[in-house]
Amino acid sequence: MTRPAVLVTNDDGVRAPGLAALARALERDLGAEVTVVAPDREQSGASHAMTIRSPLRFERVAESWYSVEGTPTDCVNLAIFHLLDERPALVVSGINAGYNLGEDVTYSGTVAGALEARILGIASLAVSSAPDASAEDLDAVAAIAARVAAEVLARGLPADSLLNVNVPPAPRGIRLTHQGRRAFREGLIERRDPKGREYYWIGLAPSEWEPDDGADHAAIAERYVSVTPLHSDMTCHRAIPVLSAWGLERLVPGSSR
């Protein structure tokens, strides 16, 4: 039987323990032929950034393992169009050290790696864990990711869709969820350095979620694996009838009428 070709990437860097755990599980549980192409350093918060103003360089660090001076999006492109002899059957991005829930998926390099694969026509999933996951936890997350990956390989995914998988420690089960929304988010944490100068950290301030039993954050709070289908179409379809009533299509550019 032919071994499925699987590309693995992440945004925590090529040396991240979650990346190694994921690659091991996909090889062991799926019998996959795994190639790892990951950033040479942490790229958390890189989102869907692509390097277009400087050249990409890579280094082979082990058999079927490559380190790239770039983002997760760069890694997927370099792998598919140069490093791999054939297109992979699946791309798995992770395991991210920290959940990717709600609007955070728009910042996530982990989700972006899977999204880039989907844009290129390849089935994909992003996998994230608790930020303080132990080595044992990561092995458990990787095993769950391999189970989900096996289903994707066997059944396929609807067109334009990818899966965002978040796994808490010792999960009670799996829930199919939708992307949640934050009710409140403090944008910055302000600090002062030893010389009294102000500096700021983005993303570390506390936040609250909109109550929603079917959302990804609710599943994690109740210790369930959250599996959320995402897609690259960012159109807000329900807004089209509202905007249509404005008569925008009748306006003449440059006219005040």
Supply the pLDDT for residue 189. 79
Nearest-CA neighbor of 112 among 70, 150, 151? 70
Task: Indicate if 140 and 205 belong to the same structural domain.
Answer: no
16, amino acid identity: A
- Same domain for 131 and 57? yes
Domain count, the chain: 2
Measured distance CA(168)–CA(24) in Å, rounded: 20
pLDDT in tens, 153-162: 999 999 899 9
Distance of alpha carbon 146 from alpha carbon 73, whole angstroms: 22
Same domain? For 203 and 228 the reply is no
Q: What is the percent of the chain where pLDDT is above 70?
A: 94
Claim to verify: residue 71 and residue 192 sit in the same structural domain: no
| The pLDDT value given to residue 187 | 67
96 and 139 both lie in a single domain: yes
Same domain, yes or no, for 186 and 170? no
User: Does residue 40 lie in a domain region?
Assistant: yes
Write out the residue range of the structural domain in which residue 200 sits.
182-209
Question: What pLDDT was estimated at residue 186?
Answer: 65
Residues 187, 80 share a domain: no
Closest by CA to 187, choosing from 212, 206, 172, 168, is 206
Angle at 103 between CA 102 and CA 109, to 5 degrees: 105
229 and 204 both lie in a single domain: no
Within a domain: 254: no
- By DSSP bridging, strand 225-231 and strand 174-176 are parallel
Q: Using one digit for the tens of pLDDT, what is the confidence trace for 176-214? A: 999 999 886 666 778 898 988 998 877 655 678 999 999
Are residue 165 and residue 201 in the same domain, yes or no? no
* 91 and 196 in a common domain: no
Measured between alpha carbons, how far is 165 from 177 in angstroms, rounded to an integer?
A: 10
3-state secondary structure of 78: helix
Q: Please compute the mean of the pLDDT values over residues 19-26 and round it to a whole number.
A: 98
Unique residue bearing structure tokens 């978040």: 166
Q: Does 38 fall in a domain?
A: yes
What are the tokens at 62? 């082990």
Task: Label residue 247 by pLDDT band (50, 70, 90).
Answer: confident
Share of the chain above pLDDT 90, in %: 81
Any idea what DSSP says for residue 178? Answer: B
